[in-house]
Amino acid sequence: MKNWLLAFRNLLRNRRRSMTTLFAMVIGLASVLVFGGYAGNINYGLQTNYVQHGGHLQIQHRNYFLYGSGDPVSYGLTNYAHIIDLVKSDPELSRLVTVVTPVLAVNGIAGNFAAGVSRTVFGSGIVVADQNRMRLWNDYGFPDHPKPLALTATSADAALIGTGVARVLRLCGPLKVPDCREPEAAQAVDAPSAATPPDLARLAALEANAKASAPHGARIELLTSNAYGAPNVAELNIVEAQKQAVKDVDDMFVQLHLKEAQQLVYGGGKPEVTSIVVQLRHTSQLAEARARLNALLHSTLQGEPLEVLDFATLNPQYGQITGMFGAVFGFIAAMIATIVMFTVGNTMNMAVMERTKEIGTLRAIGVRGSGIRNIFLCEGFLLGTCGAVLGTLFALIAAALVNHAGLHWTPPGQTDPVALTVRVWGETGMIVRNALGVIVVATFSAWWPARRAARMPIVDALRFA
C-alpha cells in the first residue's frame, strides 16, 4: 500500500509531464477503440447482408459449389421438398432455424425482340415470401429496415433484372434507368442514310413497323436449355431494374419466381432446385446447426450427394474484407502501443534522473532495490490504468457522437447507403483486450527505468545530494 501512495504522489509532483503522457495514452486507446468499433461494424454489416440474401448455411449437391456455375441443371436436388420438411421437423434444428427456402439457379440468354438485342444472363428462381422473411434478420440491431422485394405480389411471369441488363436490352425508358442513352451504333442502324439502297430501306421500314406494333411495356424473352438439352423460352414481364453491387453481376442479373424458373428449366418434368437456404436465429448457432445438418446427411439422408456450406465459404470476399480490416486494425494497435511504450519510458527515465537523490536516500535508510523498482512499476501501472479508463470513456463519447451525426455510407457488396455507426458500447471483449493492452504496455515501459533505478549504487546516488 505504501508503494502505491508513493507512486501516486510522485505522479503529481510533475503534473505537466504526467498529463502529457496520460493524454497520449488516452488519445491512442480512443483511436484504437473507435477504429475497432468501425471495423467490427463493417464485419457485422457484411454478415447481415450475406445472411439476409443467402442465409447462414446452404445445402447443395456435393460438387455444385465448384462446378455448378456453368451447368446448374446437372447439380439439382430432386427430393428438395423432403429435405426441407426434414430440417423443419427436426427437434434440434427447429429451435435454431427461422427460414428454410429453395433456390434454383438459371443461366440463359435474355432478349428484347422489339429492339433486336440480346445478352447472356444468370440469376435465380426464388420463393418471394421466404426471401422477404430472410431480409428481416437483424441480429445486430442495424437502424436500417430493408424494403420488400420488387417481386412481392406480382404475377407468375414477373421478373427483376439488373440495370446493366436493362441498358443492354434497351429498356431504360420503361424501367426508368438513370444515366442511360441509346448507343450510337443502334442509332446508326435505326436511322438509314439517304444512300441506303431501296431494298435495305424497305427492310428497315418493315423492322420499324414491327417495333411499333410490338406490345408496349418492359418485357423480355428468356431462352435457356432445359434439363433434357432442348431449348425453352419464357416471356417475362420486367417489374423493375435494380442496380447490383458488382458491375459484372449487374450486367447479367435476372431474378424470377421459383415456379416460373422450374417451368422454364424442367417443363413438365419433376422440378428440382440447386440450393436449400437455411437461415438461423443467431450466427452464434452456426456451428451447432451445421453439425446437426451433417449428422442428418450421414444418417437419414445417407447416400445423398449433399454438402453443407456456410456463408463465409459461399462468399470468399467476406473473409478477404474482414481480414484486411483486421490487419489494418492490428497495424494501428501496434503503432499506438509503440508510441505509448516510448512515451511512458521517456517519462519514467526523466523521473529516475530527477529523483536520483531521493533514490539514494531511500536506499541508505534500508529500502531494497526491489522496493525502488516496485515504486516505478506502480507509477507505470497507475498511468496505464488511468489512460485505459479515460481512453475508453473518450471512445464511447466519440462513438456516440458519430452514431447520432446522421452520417451514411455504402458498405462493400451493397448498393444502397446505410447509416454509419461505430460499435464500441457492448463490445466488451474488444474494450477489455485493448484496455489491458495499454496497462501492460505502460507497466512494461516503466520496467527498464525501474530496473536501472533499483540497481543504482547508493554512493553514486548520494553524490547528487
Q: If residue 355 lies in a helix (H) or strand (E), which one and from where to where? A: none
pLDDT value at residue 444:
80
Task: Report helix, strand and coil shares of the chain as percent, to nearest 5.
Answer: 55, 15, 25
Whole-angstrom distance, CA of residue 72 vs CA of residue 104: 8
Burial of 462 (0-12, 13-18, 19+ CB in 10 A): middle
pTM: 0.78
Q: Which residues are CB-neighbours of 26 under 8 A, at least 6 positions away?
A: 387, 390, 391, 394
pLDDT value at residue 214:
43
pLDDT value at residue 147:
86
Whole-angstrom distance, CA of residue 340 vs CA of residue 346: 10
Whole-angstrom distance, CA of residue 75 vs CA of residue 66: 11
Q: Are strands 306-310 and 275-280 parallel, antiparallel or unpaired?
A: unpaired
Whole-angstrom distance, CA of residue 170 vs CA of residue 180: 9
Q: Please report, in tens digits, the pLDDT of each residue of the chain (465 residues total).
A: 666 676 666 666 677 777 888 888 888 889 889 988 888 888 888 899 899 999 999 999 988 888 887 778 888 898 999 999 999 999 999 999 999 999 999 988 898 877 788 889 998 999 999 999 999 999 888 877 788 999 999 999 999 999 889 988 888 888 888 777 666 555 544 444 455 566 545 555 555 554 444 444 588 889 888 767 778 888 899 999 888 878 888 889 999 999 999 998 888 788 889 999 999 999 999 999 999 999 998 888 888 889 999 999 998 888 888 888 888 888 888 888 888 778 877 777 777 666 666 666 666 666 676 676 777 778 788 888 888 999 999 999 999 998 888 887 777 666 677 778 888 888 888 899 989 988 888 888 777 777 766 666 666 656 655
Q: Both ends of the chain: CA-CA distance in Å?
A: 28
- C-alpha 383: how far from its chain's center? 37
Residue 83 · residue 293 · CB < 8 Å: no
pLDDT value at residue 273:
93
Residue 388 has a CB neighbour count (10 Å cut-off) of 23
SS3 344: helix
pLDDT value at residue 414:
66
pLDDT value at residue 193:
46
pLDDT value at residue 355:
63
Q: Which of 7, 4, 32 is nearest to 355 (CA)?
A: 7
pLDDT value at residue 287:
94
